Structure 1
Amino acid sequence: MRQPVISRPWEPALFARAPNLERHRVAPGGLTLINLQAGDSLQVIDLEGDQRAELHAFNPNGHAALAALSLSATPGAEFSQRLLTNGSAASERSQRRLLGLGINATTLPPAADLWPAGTPAGYSRTLQAAEALLVMVAAPGTDSPVFSQLRASELRLLIQRTNPRQTLAPPLPEALGEVVDEFTIKPGTAQAYAVAAGQYIQVLDVAGRQCSDFVAFDRRNLDAGREVDLDPTVTRTLNSNAYPSAGLFSRFFDRNMQPMLEVRRDTVGRHDTFALACTSRYYESHGYFGHANCSDNISRALAEHGVAARPGWPAINFFFNTAIDDHQQLTMDEPWSRPGDYVLMRASNDLICANSSCPDDIDPANGWQPTDIHIRVYSAKERFSIAMATRISPDSDPVLTRESGFHPGTSALTRHFVDYRGWWTPTHFEGFGALEEYHGCRERVAVMDLSALRKFEILGPDAESLLNHCLTRDVRKLAIGQVVYSAMCYEHGGMLDDGTLLRLGQDAFRWICGEDHGGVWLREQAEKLGMKVWIKSASEQIHNIAVQGPLSRELLSQMIWTPPSQPSVSELGWFRFLNGRLDDYNGCPIMVSRTGYTGELGFEIWCHPSDAMRVWERVWQVGKPLGLVPLGLHALDMLRIEAGLVFAGYDFSDQTDPYEAGIGFCVPLKSKQDDFIGRDALQRRNASPQQRLVGLELEGNEPAAHGDCVRVGRAQVGVITSATRSPVLGKNIALCRLAIDYCEAGTAVEIGKLDGQQKRISARVSSGTVAYDPDKSRVRS
């Protein structure tokens, strides 16, 4: 007899599935304060391994209470006190909270170290609270120079509440600044409120996966009897977006094309912009008569401001997860938002706003369980950075878009930035432009901030063995001071990432890549194999610029000092690196590698963020007489496509093996004797290839674009992965993943535009993927 089928999807970090579980993060070199009640358990987890954990506990009277967690003080555990008195804004906030209990941060009692050094990744300790406590957990660590591989890493705190009835909703996150108004909107209701010009509106999803519809009116027009509200058509048109899409516009406009709101922060990234708020007709069409709906709720909330009721309100549908499918049908699923996720907007003028907490419980729109929405209005005197959020993994805390140590230098030259893998990165520069930046790199020398690259330290006696198992290259052949480019593959042969590996010592490596998940993946493999190795995130501690172009060696030779044990810049070989200092023996520590992403002679400089501006200013001081230019992402794209260099998400994915990505040279199946992840699959794929990455030369002046189909007759035989206009060649070129039958040089194909049939651009397969300097004489010079 068949048993009932039960749905148990994996839904990490979702409050509704575990209402008695709270999650908190302790940043590397930082601390976090939490409250415990009697009976609550606290689990402290060392996510990356070899990270100390320091803990203080205080009872409601402000007295030390480590014994209430069955702990005792550890002599010398004084990191928290030093951190609390360093003068930072974070330390001042923590001090104020401690002072509420009468605790002086300058005279803290001794703390407890939770474990000894050398703990493996995932090591944890669980503590039980015997009474109500304020607990402070720190992840001790100091700024590490670029030469060092001893770095602080984050801790995760999990609290199991003994009485879930006290936690029907997770605690609200700390306010971002001075609050002038705040309120909670219960499911199935809406509330109107006034916001002054310059003030900020924060829409918070309290428990996760809950939608909120938002409308706004210009208050001065409303006082004059005119209803001027957010207009979806105007907003989409002025943002050059013809259709509703998953995401938020940076600005929202009214029907008079005047700005109303500017989005400052978004921790989710997926919203349905300007569909209708749910209506009574929607529920009636599904047989739910009289069901509460957002449109009627918004009409009732706005009635006191003289706004006429509407049966359906065009609204910003915060956290609503919809999409337009291939048949132009609107589809939906559960929202992406997690507890505490929010959108922060700045009012451009005086507004009357209304938010709902959506009552929809007949489909996945609110995760089937409508919950609260919380609104905070912040003072206009506050200044919030513009940022979006990324998560390393589905259950990680969101990290807002960051600025590199070089940002003061780049932002002085341009206002054109894009969120590139969680970091603000320039696209192009005022006074230059992509073409001038491109020619500056090809003819002279250019500098670019590439701090968005991810860096991981791999340390321990099994480091070499782990990397040899996880990378396609033969790591055992890598000498100290050498760099190698490699792919990292899954078992099925698809690529997880590509990157460069530096060997700093016998058991010390640094992996430079694009994916945060690379570190997680390495830790998972190490755990499976029971290896003694630590993988430590270093992206926050190491920032880097690329100095590229035929004069790059001349520039760096004037500013890099190296000890006798290291090669000079002029002696540094291709895919080698050196440890040196800026200018002289007493300069700040830096690393220089002869690597790049432009197809030109070039180098990368690696340093601690605190030293970044000294390095940047010195590069410009030495480089100006040489014709130095800044380099943005737009020019970099032209350079790397000409050089046949692949880019994640465009030229390869987890469905693409290294051969199909045009980097089969980094899979030495014949010479590498050791097994590695994906080897068997890659042998099968290599023996029977289905497609290959090739270069295309297009006829005429019309360009191709990523995702364009490539056809022979009516049949699609390939897809454009990257394309550009090559300034040096004077023609349009592209990289294309093409069926193996059509890869011979000179083969004629057509690039489909419009629907792929009604317009075609003729092209021919070129002799290789490298359109510029195919023998790499320039980069090797």
Structure 2
Amino acid sequence: MLKRTPLFPVYARYNAKTVEFGGWEMPVQFASIKEEHEAVRTRAGLFDVSHMGEIAVRGRGSLAFLQKLMTNDVAKLRPGRAQYTLMCNEDGGTVDDLLIYQKGESDYLLVVNAANTEKDFAWLNEHIDADVELDNVSAQTAQLALQGPAAERVLQKLTNLDLPAMRPFSFQDNVEVAGVKALVSRTGYTGEDGFEIYCQAEDAITLWEAILTAGAEDGVLPCGLGARDTLRFEACLPLYGQELSETISPLEAGLGFAVKTEKESPFIGQAALKRQKEAGPPRRLVGIEMMDRGIPRHGCRVFAGSAEVGFITTGTQSPTLKKNIGLALVTADVAATGQVVEVDIRGKRLKAKIVPIPFYKRTKS
């Protein structure tokens, strides 16, 4: 039986087409992936991301506990700030990538990938310290993401919170949005400016309808996971299970900014990642642009001459660039921009070249 989010009852009203994703029945699209993608790049879109996992970490030992598990330096956080980080195994492979919100002195909220929630909760419990409390609050929490250049203007109609004063990766808890108590965070997974809004599960429908009503004149569309994937892909934001896994390290995936191998408190995977950093990662995540006609898809093999050098992690026809592009994990010796490779698409070797990433970077207004 697939799990459903608190917003499932309203999907039909917006003509949602649902698919299975990480054990959940989620909307892949409402209008069309292309229209929704374009809405987020030019106006704004509203996503139901209530399938994501939320884990509360509290207690005097919280900071030391999180420092032991996270690759980033959690000590750099302050209440009201969020941080992107990863958890790794001893070999430096990725257990998950996540956001940490510091709500109070010894009060943190972890937001993890939907399909990994149970695995992550078990991993945290396996390494728990005596003065730490863990609580999986996913079932009672809903999460909506309003993303795009018009997001701030639309959301401001519904709250007294001073949104222009909020910096990226800052948040406010216990804020009223459309009469609903929420945590509002200036974060997202689309490459655009935007907000992620966390509320009690029972308030999700009220919030969803209020945001779409407030955004009607700005052309805000409800958006599904299809557009969320093409948007994050163009911005080269990793998806766990594709760009990251227990056999792919954050350094291979180009996430060195979130791996503090020099931080004072040791963390799981630190020694392996330090060695990898010093020697240079054996594989690298690169951008691929097709020269021959064909769309590279997840799992397609990549060749340089007769040697198999890697595989496509994500590929599609980019709605913004109108090109067939992909992300590929390849051996470091063929990772240079301009290198010509071949991608095996349905048994045919098609020419492609390695190009700089990200494919898309928003221009700040």
SS at match of 1:488: strand
> Which position in structure 2 is the counterpart of 1:408?
9
Matched, 1:570 2:164: yes
Which amino acid in 1 is paired with 2:21?
A: Y
Give CA deviations for 1:588-617 in whole Å, capped at 9, x if unaligned. Answer: 211111111100111111100111111011
Q: Are 1:445 and 1:552, in contact at CA under 8 Å, matched by a contact in 2?
A: yes
Residue 422 of structure 1: CA displacement? 2.7
Matched, 1:533 2:132: yes
Residue 707 of structure 1: CA displacement? 0.4
Which amino acid in 1 is paired with 2:209?
A: E
Q: Are 2:67 and 2:74, in contact at CA under 8 Å, matched by a contact in 1?
A: yes
> Which position in structure 2 is the counterpart of 1:714?
306
Q: Are 1:422 and 1:452, in contact at CA under 8 Å, matched by a contact in 2?
A: no
> Which position in structure 2 is the counterpart of 1:761?
350
Matched, 1:724 2:316: yes
> Which position in structure 2 is the counterpart of 1:359?
none
> Which position in structure 2 is the counterpart of 1:609?
201
> Which position in structure 2 is the counterpart of 1:626?
218
Distance in 1, matches of 2:21 and 2:195, equals 21
Cα distance 1:415–1:652, how it changes in 2: closer, same or farther (>3 A)? same
Q: Give the alignment of 1:692-707 within 5 angstroms.
A: 692-707=284-299
Give CA deviations for 1:636-666 in whole Å, capped at 9, x if unaligned. Answer: 1111110001111111110111011221211
Matched, 1:545 2:144: yes
1:466 to 65, 69, 77: 65
Distance in 2, matches of 1:622 and 1:661, equals 38
Residue 690 of structure 1: CA displacement? 1.0
Matched, 1:599 2:191: yes
Distance in 2, matches of 1:610 and 1:524, equals 32
Distance in 2, matches of 1:777 and 1:467, equals 34
Matched, 1:513 2:112: yes
Q: Are 2:16 and 2:28, in contact at CA under 8 Å, matched by a contact in 1?
A: no
Residue 423 of structure 1: CA displacement? 2.4
Distance in 2, matches of 1:405 and 1:593, equals 20
> Which position in structure 1 is the counterpart of 2:245?
653
Instruction: Name the count of aligned residue pairs.
Output: 360
2:176 to 581, 584, 590: 581
Which amino acid in 2 is paired with 1:674?
A: S
Residue 415 of structure 1: CA displacement? 4.4
Between 697-706 and 615-624, the greater mean CA deviation after superposition? 697-706
> Which position in structure 1 is the counterpart of 2:27?
426
Q: Give the alignment of 1:157-556 within 5 angstroms.
A: 388=1, 401-429=2-30, 432-514=31-113, 515-516=116-117, 517-526=119-128, 530-556=129-155
Distance in 1, matches of 2:293 and 2:339, equals 20
Gap regions ≥5 residues in structure 2:
none
Distance in 2, matches of 1:692 and 1:409, equals 42
Gap regions ≥5 residues in structure 1:
1-387, 389-400, 563-567
Q: Are 1:493 and 1:679, in contact at CA under 8 Å, matched by a contact in 2?
A: yes
Q: Are 1:414 and 1:426, in contact at CA under 8 Å, matched by a contact in 2?
A: no
Q: Are 1:409 and 1:616, in contact at CA under 8 Å, matched by a contact in 2?
A: no
2:283 to 691, 713, 723: 691
Residue 402 of structure 1: CA displacement? 2.4
Q: Are 1:420 and 1:452, in contact at CA under 8 Å, matched by a contact in 2?
A: no
Q: Are 2:39 and 2:221, in contact at CA under 8 Å, matched by a contact in 1?
A: yes
Distance in 2, matches of 1:470 and 1:762, equals 41
SS at match of 1:540: helix
Distance in 2, matches of 1:546 and 1:520, equals 27
Matched, 1:640 2:241: no
2:272 to 681, 687, 696: 681
Q: Which has the higher contact order (CA 8 A, sep 6+)?
A: 2
Distance in 2, matches of 1:605 and 1:554, equals 15
Distance in 2, matches of 1:494 and 1:728, equals 32
Which amino acid in 1 is paired with 2:270?
A: R
Residue 692 of structure 1: CA displacement? 0.6
Which amino acid in 2 is paired with 1:721?
A: T
Q: Are 2:28 and 2:225, in contact at CA under 8 Å, matched by a contact in 1?
A: yes
2:360 to 766, 769, 772: 772
Give CA deviations for 1:425-470 in whole Å, capped at 9, x if unaligned. Answer: 10111xx211111101111000010011010000000011100110
> Which position in structure 2 is the counterpart of 1:130?
none
Which amino acid in 2 is paired with 1:418?
A: V
Which amino acid in 1 is paired with 2:267?
A: F
Residue 499 of structure 1: CA displacement? 0.6
Which amino acid in 1 is paired with 2:266?
A: D
Distance in 1, matches of 2:16 and 2:197, equals 24
User: Which structure shows the bigger proportion of residues in helix conformation?
Assistant: 2
SS at match of 1:412: helix
Give CA deviations for 1:190-235 in whole Å, capped at 9, x if unaligned. Answer: xxxxxxxxxxxxxxxxxxxxxxxxxxxxxxxxxxxxxxxxxxxxxx
Residue 700 of structure 1: CA displacement? 4.2
Q: State percent identity of aligned pairs.
A: 34
Q: Are 2:94 and 2:250, in contact at CA under 8 Å, matched by a contact in 1?
A: yes
Matched, 1:667 2:266: no
Residue 777 of structure 1: CA displacement? 4.0
Residue 410 of structure 1: CA displacement? 2.4
SS at match of 2:208: helix
Q: Are 2:293 and 2:350, in contact at CA under 8 Å, matched by a contact in 1?
A: no
TM-score where L is the length of structure 2: 0.96
Q: Are 1:701 and 1:731, in contact at CA under 8 Å, matched by a contact in 2?
A: no
Which amino acid in 1 is paired with 2:5?
A: S
